[in-house]
Structure 1
């Protein structure tokens, strides 16, 4: 028996991603114009990050639409892995962008200090970016807990928020002291903040694609819960993986006392096991094979 839950919050996620895309694209345009008018590398770097975020949000939105397609005989779990592939692309974009920012900032720092930066206008543009990023983060904050794809977009907006804060600090330094090196330092700081988040996202993608158990689910604890179920004598071939963030899948072979099977208590035991996984471990998709003690596996494996 299988317990199939859709596990998709597609329509809501798409609305949030669309709103975030509109905000991000608008701020990106403002920052590009601001970077041209002020000569600020930090604003240009933040605009470049915004450009990557805009592309990433488009990818995330498309991935969310694809993931909402129903399952079929060829793709029995549907298209939820499309979200993971979208997150993979997001992570690669972030790392490439960070490398570009770092190279450009280092070039300015070691080169002659002849870059004119209009600190006042730079400050205004950075404050606008900070407010817009805060709004986008608020929109995505709830959905990112359940979707690796939305989480990728959320982390990018978080990087933008911190980047805007760095640009604000650099602008204040330039306005008060006239030292334009603060602009390049802010750019390096933005790159340093982006890379760890991108690596963390790629690690999570690798965990999903390698079908590792979710970090917050402990197989030993699940096994103990199963063995405490009345009528269960043993459990083996336990597998836990996830289709995408927030969509864990579980399967196991459960040995049941022969008396329980003869008395017709198998369905009740099965219902109890599935309820246990749903309530205690938030696993909505579970598959159990109930076996008598003398059952022999023809394709048994460790």
Structure 2
């Protein structure tokens, strides 16, 4: 009739934590953590000055940039806390540890950018209908100071970014500030030279539109990870077909699943049927190695079953 099944669920060959990529080592994480904290200190330190400057000069561009800085400071601290939390080891309740919190932080930061954008757009529309007098000179000096601070913060974050979605979201916040400072400088110069006040809300809107595109990318990627979407470039159908065609002893590959704890921690599970004369302990490592070569995923769990045969 049918042969029995030799099910073996593979946890041999890897620990319950995946192999770390170069961007996911403890040293790399500490570097990202320091970069985010440094950027938070720089941003928070200048935020108060920009709020005062925006209120005194009556500049929407400065206030928009200060609003960015306020949420940036909160977002950077959230990102920093996510890295601190991720240091905690996995336990029986959270077998993958706390790394996923960094993806959640990136998602929240992306939504915060949308909230800022809505506020700036509404205020800009109001000012386009009813232009406000702006003190161009004060606006210029405050904007220059903000530009210097934002360049430093962005430089620190860009050096540590790599593939980490949390750091990328934080860098986008700072990039928004940087562009906001540039817009404020341009607006202040136009006001000083021409007295045209509408340049202030117009440039604010342009900056917001630039930031929204990047914010959407961060939200989309973080949601994809939170919904257990497959890592970029992973095609379960192609992986199954490749294993069946290129790994000796594999007669069928199925139930192929892949997801990511964070961008740096992709994982995969699959089931394979092997020929009756194949040895599971030989086929299993070959399957894991093939998946690693074709997808780059180091943490692969393989369940093995003997193919059924008919007896005459």
TM-score normalised per structure 1: 0.87
Aligned to 2:6: none
Aligned to 2:172: 155
Q: Residues 253, 194 of structure 1: CA spacing in aligned structure 2 closer, same or farther, 3 A cutoff?
A: same
Aligned to 1:189: 206
Cα distance between partner residues in 2 of 1:224 and 1:90: 39
Aligned to 2:267: 249
- What SS does the aligned partner of 2:186 have? helix
1:1-302 matched pairs, under 5 angstroms: 1-2=10-11, 3=14, 4-5=17-18, 7=20, 8=24, 9-111=28-130, 113=131, 115-227=132-244, 228-261=246-279, 266-294=280-308
- What SS does the aligned partner of 2:277 have? helix
Q: Report Cα offsets for 1:112-135 as digits up to 9, x if no partner.
A: x3x332223322322332233233
Cα distance between partner residues in 2 of 1:276 and 1:28: 51
- What SS does the aligned partner of 1:141 have? helix
Question: RMSD value over aligned CA atoms?
Answer: 2.1
> How far is the alpha carbon of 1:71 from its aligned partner?
0.9
Cα distance between partner residues in 2 of 1:99 and 1:29: 22
Q: Would you say the 8 A contact 1:50–1:160 is kept in 2?
A: yes
- What SS does the aligned partner of 1:289 have? strand
Task: Between 131-140 and 281-290, report the one with greater CA deviation.
Answer: 131-140
Q: Residues 69, 182 of structure 1: CA spacing in aligned structure 2 closer, same or farther, 3 A cutoff?
A: same
Q: Residues 58, 6 of structure 1: CA spacing in aligned structure 2 closer, same or farther, 3 A cutoff?
A: farther
Aligned to 2:7: none
Aligned to 2:3: none
- What SS does the aligned partner of 1:234 have? strand
Cα distance between partner residues in 1 of 2:237 and 2:157: 33
Q: Would you say the 8 A contact 1:10–1:65 is kept in 2?
A: no
Q: Residues 46, 244 of structure 1: CA spacing in aligned structure 2 closer, same or farther, 3 A cutoff?
A: same
Cα distance between partner residues in 2 of 1:17 and 1:226: 42
Aligned to 1:300: none
Task: Between 1-10 and 222-231, report the one with greater CA deviation.
Answer: 1-10
Task: Between 208-217 and 192-201, report the one with greater CA deviation.
Answer: 192-201
TM-score normalised per structure 2: 0.85
Where relative contact order (Cα < 8 A, 6+ residues apart) is larger, the structure is 2
> How far is the alpha carbon of 1:162 from its aligned partner?
1.9
> How far is the alpha carbon of 1:167 from its aligned partner?
1.7
Q: Would you say the 8 A contact 2:104–2:226 is kept in 1?
A: no
Q: Report Cα offsets for 1:30-74 as digits up to 9, x if no partner.
A: 322321342211011101011001000111111121122111111
> How far is the alpha carbon of 1:12 from its aligned partner?
2.2
- Runs of at least 5 residues in structure 1 that lack an aligned partner in the other structure: 296-302
- What SS does the aligned partner of 1:145 have? coil
> How far is the alpha carbon of 1:142 from its aligned partner?
4.9
- Runs of at least 5 residues in structure 2 that lack an aligned partner in the other structure: 1-9
Task: Between 200-209 and 127-136, report the one with greater CA deviation.
Answer: 127-136
Cα distance between partner residues in 2 of 1:124 and 1:268: 69
